[in-house]
Structure 1
Amino acid sequence: MPAVRDKIVAAFDAEVYDSGSMAEVSPWMALGSALDAPGMFCWQDLVYTEVCDPQDYRRVPYGQEGTPVYTTLERVSQPMIRLLSNDLTRWEAPDASRGRTYPFLPRGIYGRIDDMFVVRGENIYPSAIDDVVMGAPGYGGEHRIVITRDGSMDELVVQVEFDPAACGTPVEEWRARVETDLRTVLGVGALVVPTSPGTFPRTDFKARRVVDDRTLLDGLRKNGGAS
């Protein structure tokens, strides 16, 4: 994601290029970035890539979002025909002005279909929340996404470690800005709760940042343990 990429570039003064594949289609890379711009090309020479609707696996039109599906017949002992990735991306039509005539993923791979959860009718991907909070000045290194339910209304709470020394902005002003950015990206409001750096154990896995209390509440109600 862009926020992580920017941190790597800043920390190591490195050139960072996105690429992607799946073990089942290796050793060939299916996706790769350009030298001078973000995004990834679908290298169609050996691995044919489609972006498909995750419900019916039909190819979506250019400009729409879906999951990459890969086909390669190069490995004759183990050909892969329409291998479902469950990743999330949006693709655009080939454009020779980019220097290549492959389909293009302007934001690369930015999530997983199976990480998605629904809040107030909106499909929410943890990676979208991660990109907003990790890119905010003053981000303290870790966060948690908590989904609860008050009656019939879902509530989305994002607990974010806040480092005032790295921000220079009062915490309430910082919190309000992050809430605005989250609403713009997600389409629903989220309550941001600043916490001290070091509050949460470190994790490299997006799904482990998500705590969905609705499942517990529904289970208690089903078993008669909650009203």
Structure 2
Amino acid sequence: MDTTLWQQLIGEFVGTMILVLLGDGVVAGSVLNKTKGFNTGWLMITLGWGLAVTIAVYSSGFLSPAHLNPAVTLGMAIAGEIAWSSVLPYIGAQILGGIAGAVIVWIHYMPHWKATDDSETILSVFSTGPAIKSPINNVISEAIGTAMLVFGLLAFTQGQFTDGLNPIVVGLLIVAIGLSLGGTTGYAINPARDLGPRIAHQILPIANKGDSDWGYAWVPIAGPFIGAALAALLYQVLPLG
């Protein structure tokens, strides 16, 4: 493996770790008992995730393309923006970064797991879950949200942004998706953001934790990949200058 690819993998790992640390961190601060931000609600969580994406991209963009999301990586490969040979290594680095970020969240909020006796609430810090469990509809929701994300990212490449502004626009896109489309499934729109922390939830000795809900875990993997592929295919047929 060449030095450049190693650098890119480090960037994807570090960026995804920061993304999950700050993103799962805002969820923890809102739902775990006895935190200063307890019960601040959905608006705070969506804003926190948008900021998490912005900071993660700024923090890793000098090392890699800062996809920080296997679905984005797939979409970029389909659109011809990256080599297919990079796809699996990127995805591996992103999932490992997701695990690492979730472990740090667990450490940071250590006393609050014991203070929170609802196992579903604890799982919600790490992974997404549907408001109404309906696998096909849940997959469709994740696909639509991710399609909006990937199409937006690809469309942004056609515009002119002031240097350094792009991560802020991407963060705003995440906030928009969360507010408008996230109420059905919690908008994973990122397999590494869900799978990595779910693995961490499974293996960590978290006080009061319950089942990791592996029966649902395929939804925030399949939906984002489907949505990313459809968005990239649509982008390819557009009349680009």
TM-score normalised by L of structure 1: 0.25
- Compare CA radii of gyration and give the structure with the larger one: 1
TM-score normalised by L of structure 2: 0.24
* Greater strand fraction, Structure 1 or Structure 2: 1
* Greater helix fraction, Structure 1 or Structure 2: 2
| Bigger relative contact order (CA 8 A; separation at least 6) | 2
